[in-house]
Structure formats: C-alpha cells, structure tokens
Amino acid sequence: MNSEPEILFDRRGAAGIVTLNRPSALNAVTLIMVRALREQLDAWRDDPAVTRVVIRGAGERAFSAGGDLRQVYELGRTGRPEEALVYWREEYALNAVIKRYPKPFIALIDGIVMGGGVGVSVHGSHRVGSEKLLFAMPEVNIGFFPDVGATWFLPRMPGEMGTYCGITGERLRCADALSAGFATHHVPSRKFPDLLEGLCGTVPVDALIAAFAEPIGQGVLSQRRKDIDRLFAGSSVGQILAALDAQAAGEGTGAEWAAATAATIRVRSPTSTKIAFAQVRRGASLSFDECMQTEFRIVSRIVYGHDFYEGVRAVIIDKDNKPRWKPGTLAEVDEVEVERHFAPLAQELVLA
C-alpha cells in the first residue's frame, strides 16, 4: 500500500509547487486532495515570498485523469449520496478559488487531463501542455455531465468547439487544445524540468513561459472547424444529429467523420448528452459563479439518478463498456426531465 501523501507541496524559490501524487490512479483527485490544496492555496495567497503557484502530476502518464469517481460511486451505491455531494461542493469551491487566485497559477500538463484534472488547471492563468497532452471532458460517456466549470469554459471556446467537446466527450491533442483555448502554451516534454526550474526564480511568468514555448502546428480537429461550427450550431441535440447524418450521406472524409461523430453521440448517455447541450447553451450568458451553482444543481439530481452509477459500473468497475442507459434513446428523454436538473436547490452552492 502506498504510504505517500496523495498530494505534495513544496516551496522552491519564489514558487509554491503542487504535485498530484497518485500516479497509479492517474492522479485522480480525491476529497483529501481537494481539501489539502484549498488550504495550501489560501496559505500561499497570503505569503509574500510566494509569487506564483505551479501544479503538476506525478508519473509519466497523466496530469490528472479526473475525479475519484470510484469513491463517490461507492457512496451513492451504499445509500450515502449526500456524502458524495460533499465532494462536489468542495471541489467546485476549489475551482472557484483557482479562478480568482491573485497570483499566477501555472499548470504543467504532460499527459492526460480530464474531468477533475481540468478543474484544477483550466481556471488558472497558464496551462502549459506538452506534446503528450490529451484533453477531454468525457463525462457523457459515464452518465455524468461536464462539470468543474465546464458550463463556463465550454461556451467560451471558439465557435462550436465547446458544444462538440461537451456532447461527444472526444479527446483533443495539444494542438487542438491550444486552438480550443484550453491550453495557453505548448512546451516540449523534454523542456519541462528546465521550465519548472525557471519558474522557481523571479523572471516574470509570462516572459519565462514565452521563452520556452514552441509552435506545434495544426491539430486534426482544426481541419474540421468549419464543419464543427456549422453542424454543431443546432438548437437541439436532435438537430445536430440530423445535420451530421445529412453530411454522412455524402462522400469523402467529411462524410466519414460526420458518420463516426454521430455514432459516438448515439452511444453516450442520452440524458447526459441533453444536459451537456443545455449547459453549453445556457452557460454562454451566465457569470462564473452562476455556472458553478448550475453545476451543483445538476449533480444534486444526477447523484440520485440511474445513468451515473450505470456508466461508472460499465466503464470503471466492471469495464464491460456496455452501459444500459435509462432512458435508452435521446427521443425518450423528456425535456421536462432535463429542465428539472437546472431547478434551484433549497441549499445552493455558496462560493466564498
């Protein structure tokens, strides 16, 4: 059993360094980590010797592949969904702390970054990705929904990229993550040790990262941007699928891509897909705090539903990848049921 702490903190020169330290679990974020990071960020905020915070992941594979879903799955499955909600309440509050942090907050992303890992990186001032960066908000694949501030950042991606990411859950490599606005810079993985050393000094963060940054070229999805902006502009998931099906009926690589994309959407949780679509459309006109409150409203209903537990079972627990969604099709998902997830709560999320 690993006796090391799940999260490590180090003061090195002018930098406070955070290391997500669960490499065997792809640095999935636990409640212990959320609480420790919140406490440390509060301390460093008031420490004049710390002029910037750097966060990274331990190991070779991931910055952080998400939240500790197995933990919250077990709480819900054993009749303790209210305890599971404690995790999200505190995680969302941490996301807000990072969003408002008064000092440069630099995420060094050298691998997988998804879900909860996005929450402790995207809201910071700098997201430096290596060529190994792999970004996704894949929650619709497990009957959940894009959270940790996705209601804020997905609608603010260029064009319809946020809609595409939210309802497909597809993965973006570094070049596409840059063009989508998730990453702010690309630095080759081999340069990360020197970049980290430099960040511990007193050179201004912007100037230092700019000196290390390199161009990375065009991403695969960048070649589909016009298609994405046109096909994902519909007023419903049904309209988007109809547009994709129409393009799929044609010829060429555009038809193949549209067919594959439509097939991807159709195997996701129908309820989650419609919730994710509604989030992106609503989030465009909401403040950051309103977006976070919206997400807590949604999770407070999801945790009492069916699809989240079935999705985690199929993908993470049993790994048969054969979820049985209820309802099983998009047509069966009542819009009133979708709307219910956005209704006010008796105890709303409060952000300090």
The answer as to CATH 3.20.20.80 being correct for domain 1-352 is no
| pLDDT value, residue 2 | 58
CB atoms under 10 Å from CB of 195, counted, come to: 21
Please pick, among 6, 91, 110, 139, the residue that the annotation labels catalytic: 139
147 is catalytic: yes
What does the alpha-carbon distance between residue 247 and residue 31 come to, in Å, rounded to a whole number? 44
The ranges assigned to domains in the chain are 1-352
Please pick, among 68, 110, 147, 227, the residue that the annotation labels catalytic: 147
Contact 213, 185 (CB under 8 A): yes
| Overall pTM > 0.75 | yes
- Asked, as a colleague might, if the bond just before 327 is cis with ω within 30 of 0, I would say yes
| pLDDT value, residue 251 | 84
Cα→Cα distances 70→76, 193, 276, 307, Å: 10, 32, 22, 15
Partners of 56 in the beta sheet? 19
| pLDDT value, residue 3 | 79
Query: Maximum Cα–Cα distance for the chain, whole Å?
Result: 61
| pLDDT value, residue 21 | 98
290 is catalytic: no
Cα→Cα distances 276→10, 294, 339, Å: 37, 12, 12
Buried/exposed 55-71: b ≥16 CB within 10 Å, e otherwise: bbbbbebbbbbbbbbee
Please pick, among 57, 67, 162, 311, the residue that the annotation labels catalytic: 67
6 is catalytic: no
Contact 53, 106 (CB under 8 A): yes
Please pick, among 116, 149, 169, 219, the residue that the annotation labels catalytic: 116
What is the DSSP code string of 122-177? Answer: TTSSEEEE-TT-EEE--GGGGT----TTHHHHTTTSSTTHHHHHHHH---EEHHHH
67 is catalytic: yes
Q: Mind listing the pLDDT tens digit of every residue in the chain (352 residues)?
A: 457 899 999 999 999 999 999 999 999 999 999 999 999 999 999 999 999 999 999 999 999 999 988 889 999 999 999 999 999 999 999 999 999 999 999 999 999 999 999 999 999 999 999 999 999 999 999 999 999 999 999 999 999 999 999 999 999 999 999 999 999 999 999 999 999 999 999 999 999 999 999 999 999 998 899 999 999 999 999 999 999 999 999 987 899 999 999 999 999 999 999 999 999 999 999 999 999 999 999 999 999 999 999 999 999 999 999 999 999 999 999 999 999 999 999 999 999 7
Could you give the 3-state DSSP secondary structure of residue 78?
coil
